[in-house]
Amino acid sequence: MKSKVLRGVIDRMDTKNLDLGLLVTLEALLAEGNVTRAARRLNLSQPALSARLARLRDALGDPLLIPAQRGMVLTQRAVELRQPLHEALEGVRQVVAKGMPSDPATMGATMVIAATDYVQYALLSRFSVALRTEAPRVRIAWRALDLLALATQLERGEVDLALALPNHAPAAMRQCLLFREDYVVIARQGHPAVPGRLSLDAFCALEHVVVSLQGGGFSGPTDAALEAIGRRRTVALSTSGFLIVPEVVSRSDMIALIPRRIADGWSDQVQVVEPPLTIPGFAIAGVWHDRTTDHTAQRWLRERLTTLAAEG
């Protein structure tokens, strides 16, 4: 059905005035529904993108984007064209990708990876450094993990790989387990209530820093584990990321539960002790859209990242 729609649209185009670059521009415009964002996506100036849009309107005989109460909206014809055009161009990209060099040293590619600050610290920093030697022509872009937008980002190609909890992976996406992580407690050096170890009473009595990835949360798996044994703790500070937590703890009497991989990097500035109760750990998986499964460069990069994660 989609191919019939695409053929019908193409039949009505002035195809002699279209080239592959214009079709890629059209794909970006239809995906973004906004000239400014499409220009940014294509690394073009807004005037240059507007000129291309004018050419596309002439060739298609359709305005494609029309003013609305808030910004612009796609015309019905543009909506019908969006998905089949994307699929057709993906087919072209896959054909081209099959001819890419398999030698990492000569492989040119860009990979956009979405991850939390914790995963960027624990894994992506080492990955990016390793690639400068192994695949110097590969560019890596990190971006913050946005679970609400992730499915759309993967479908549109705005994100090539997401590193997230397995149960956070959008439905129908592929995934591969990378590593498992557990929690440890950190406290400042010389903390009088943490003399190299931590009792359950002290754990509950001391003030805690917690991480709420969505922001504003004051409870988590630790509180559920405490409630199961009839205990509670005091949470004094909630942050949206892990990396600031050791700095705060090192300068105060607050303590925190953080992933072991982060704590290991601060072991010379804070105490690292085992929690006085069992706290569930978590796993991190690589998540990607099926369209990049057989892409030569993307597949090699995923496999290299998986190997690096397994090395610890």
Over residues 90-149, the pLDDT tens digits come to 877 777 666 555 688 888 889 999 999 999 999 999 999 999 999 999 999 999 999 999
What's 252's DSSP letter? S
Instruction: Specify the pLDDT at position 100.
Output: 55
SS (H, E, C) 113-143: EEECHHHHHHHHHHHHHHHHHHCCCEEEEEE
- Residue-by-residue DSSP string for 63-88: -SEEE-SSSEEE-HHHHHHHHHHHHH
Among 261, 286, 260, which Cα is nearest to 274's?
260
Is the pLDDT at 203 greater than 60? The verdict is yes
Q: Which helix (H) or strand (E) holds 235?
A: strand 234-239
How does 180-211 read in b/e, with b if 16+ C-beta sit within 10 Å? ebebbbbbbeebeebeeebeeebbeebebbbb
Query: Does position 250 have pLDDT exceeding 60, yes or no?
Result: yes
**Phi, psi of 5, deg, nearest 5:** -60, -45
The pLDDT value given to residue 195: 93
Among 2-6, 126-130, 137-141, 295-299, where is mean pLDDT lowest?
2-6
Prediction pTM value:
0.67
| Residue 101 or 214, more confident | 214
What is the tens place of the pLDDT at every residue in 142-197? Answer: 999 999 999 999 988 899 999 999 999 998 899 999 999 999 999 999 999 999 99
- Percent of the chain exceeding pLDDT 90 equals 62
Rounded to an integer, what distance in angstroms lies between the CA atom of residue 178 and that of residue 159?
A: 18
Helices 76-97, 2-11: crossing angle, 10 deg rounding = 100
| 267 or 43: which leads in pLDDT | 267
Higher-confidence residue of 20 and 203: namely 203
Of residues 15 and 188, more confidence is placed in 188
Question: Are the beta carbons of 233 and 203 closer than 8 angstroms?
Answer: yes
Confidence of residue 9 (pLDDT cuts 50, 70, 90): very low
